[in-house]
Amino acid sequence: MADIEINTTRYEREHGHPPAGRKFWRFVLISDTITVKDHWLNLDDKQRTYPDALEEAKRIAGLRKSVRIIVEP
């Protein structure tokens, strides 16, 4: 699997710091081919640390052949 770009710009702009802590995380997974495959990933089943949530987002992005993950505030 190729490297997946992680974009935290919007999160950092709205919160004033990089993603951190334990909370319910939201991501947008963006594919390289068809925008229909772009979709929200809400990890709202339980609170997770950012590294744990990002690993889960990367796993799902790999299954969906996504190339970019955007961390939502």
Give domain limits for the chain: 5-72
The whole-angstrom separation of Cα 8 and Cα 69 is: 9
Q: Which helix (H) or strand (E) holds 39?
A: strand 39-49
| pLDDT value, residue 33 | 72
- With contact defined as beta carbons under 8 Å apart, do 26 and 43 qualify? yes
pTM: 0.86
| pLDDT value, residue 55 | 97
Interval 31-36 mean pLDDT: 68
Q: 3-class DSSP state for residue 63?
A: helix
| pLDDT value, residue 64 | 84
Interval 18-24 mean pLDDT: 97
Q: Higher-confidence residue: 27 or 63?
A: 27
Burial (Cβ within 10 Å: 0-12, 13-18, ≥19) of residue 61? buried
Model pLDDT for residues 35-63, shown as the tens digit of each residue: 655 688 899 889 999 999 999 999 999 88
